[in-house]
Amino acid sequence: MLVHLYIKNIALIDEIYLDLHESFNILTGETGAGKSILIDSINLALGDRINKNLIRNQNEEAVVELLFRVYQPTTLQILKDFGLDLDEEQCILISRTIQITGRSLCRVNGRPVTLNMLKEITTHLIDVHGQHEHQSLLNTSMHIELLDQFCSKELHILKEQLQNLHKHYNQLKNKMDHLTLNEQEKIRRLDLLEFQLLEIDQAHLVPEEEEELLLQRKISSNAQKLSTGIHRVYQLLHEENEQTISAVERLGEASNILQELCQIDPSLTLLYQNIETIHVQLQEYNRDLSFYLTEFEHDPYRLDQIENRLHLIYNLKRKYGHSIEEILRYREQIEIEIHALNHQQENAENIRNEMNNIHLQMEHLCKKISSIRKKTGLCLEKQIEEHLHSLQLKEACFKISIEKKDSISVNGWDKVEFLISTNPGESLKPLAKIASGGEMSRIMLALKTVLADVDEIETLIFDEVDAGISGRTAQKVAEKLMLIANKHQVICITHLPQIAAMADQHYQIQKTTKNSHTTTSIHRLSEEQIVEELARLAGGAAITSTTLKNAKEMKQMANQLKKQIKK
């Protein structure tokens, strides 16, 4: 539902803020007041081509913003698929800023999007019917979805089954495409994989080997420093000469003294025990140093071996992974692919058989789906024709063409298109071939009336839906718009009082000139102002007491009819 509309600096519009009713909104105004500008502005926000001449003040940007509140679960899911998060009130803001250079910036909830994304998103939010091209019913690809919405629940169950099969079929097809390499490509691929496998295997890689080699390289690179340092430590702790006594010898002497003194003063026992423990530990420490010195052997060739090994590992990492573990995982993948290539014919045959089986299942589902569509289509054709006849298109013939395509998609094998003939002797044509804007509007109105219960687009705009009609036909149009407004938000621009009287909320578009500055504005009418506007629509510029009386009566009758329709 379109909650709020904001337009700035477009044509005669300086700035407009407009809050809209959730049901039936009517916009009226004199010819040239700016009704078409309003629709043009909305279409710009929906992704229409830019006309730089629409920018009022060439020194400023033009801006159009549409604030929607979304209720339909399907539409909410589509927005979620686009990565769009709605606020707690489930609102989404569509914004388009237009520059004099012809460039524009599209945003959805403040996030920049491409023009194609904008069009795809807004297609599910709003439909504009009338003299403009932004119409989902003119998009042939939408016809099958509209027809399916009108079909029974059985069709949707069948379509879900078909979609699952179609997804599986495509997965198998991708596997088959990968398997069906020509023989030369297969041989080249096998040669490459076998070379890579041999290169990795000959390296005899071991997990965490690189870390161990780096440590060994560090030790080998500092062998002389290690040997000299350990010798010096050993000398300091153990060796003695004429000038010095070793630390071990001194600790032993101190321990003996304390042992004797303990016989005199038992309180020295703890000191004796501690120094004796240190003495024993130092003796063990010296034995470890001596063992290290005995085992330590500096091999001048060992460093070269380590460097060569690391170079081999780095070379393999450059080709096959960032670590030895990744290289070994890649090796496993190579083995699997080599096995698959060597058994390619057998695997291809198995996949081909499975694909054939799935295709038969899909064909069976397509037959059922097509049968339901054709049966529903006949019923839908009759209902739409009845509405067209009541809208003064008495000779109109409406058909739903359902043809079988060569391929199967997630929607089956049907190509669905709505066709119409509005005059006797004319052949059926696609909706897009209908030339008259007013005629098109009534066709759309008939379609929307029938599809109102199933069409998930929440907001519908009808521009000049009353073109070329009057009297009883106008009353019928008003009633159908009211029926649609029970299920959708309707925004309608009209010149006919019969239609305007049905409004839940009535707005007047006015053009005023002050100090040589002309501007278009929109304001909501009060009950009294509505009667005056209806009188103007019915009687022209001269509003008399009679036209006011007739207008008041027309509004009262419309309110009574609305109550009946809403029941």
Kindly report the CATH number assigned to the domain that includes residue 529. 3.40.50.300
> 0.75 cut: is pTM over it?
no
In a domain, 47, yes or no: yes
In the predicted model, is pLDDT for residue 131 greater than 70? Answer: no
Structure tokens belonging to residue 134: 């932004």
Q: Please, what sign has the CA dihedral across residues 480, 486, 490, 495?
A: positive
pLDDT tens, position by position, 24-43 = 999 998 887 888 888 889 98
Q: Is 137 among the domain residues? A: no
Answer whether residue 193 is part of any domain: no
- Residue 359 is assigned to a structural domain of this protein: no
**Nearest-10 Cα torsion for 370, 373, 379, 384:** -130
Domain limits for position 114: 1-125+458-567
Residue 241: is its pLDDT beyond 60?
no
Would the pLDDT of 541 be above 70? no
Q: Return the higher-pLDDT residue of 165 and 236.
A: 165
Considering the domain boundaries, does residue 184 fall inside one?
no
DSSP code for 33: S
Rounded to an integer, the average pLDDT of 428-435 is 77
CA distance 71 to 458: 8
More confident residue, 98 or 246: 98
Given this model, what pLDDT does residue 566 score?
Answer: 66
Query: What's the structural domain count of the chain?
Result: 1
Quick check: is 70 in a domain? Answer: yes
Q: Assess if residue 567 is contained within a domain.
A: yes
Alpha helices of 17-91 — where are they, by DSSP H? 35-45, 73-81
* Residue 132, pLDDT score: 47
C-alpha 33/C-alpha 12 separation (Å) is 9
- From the CA atom positions of the chain, what is the Rg in Å? 43
Q: Span 370-396, mean pLDDT? A: 89
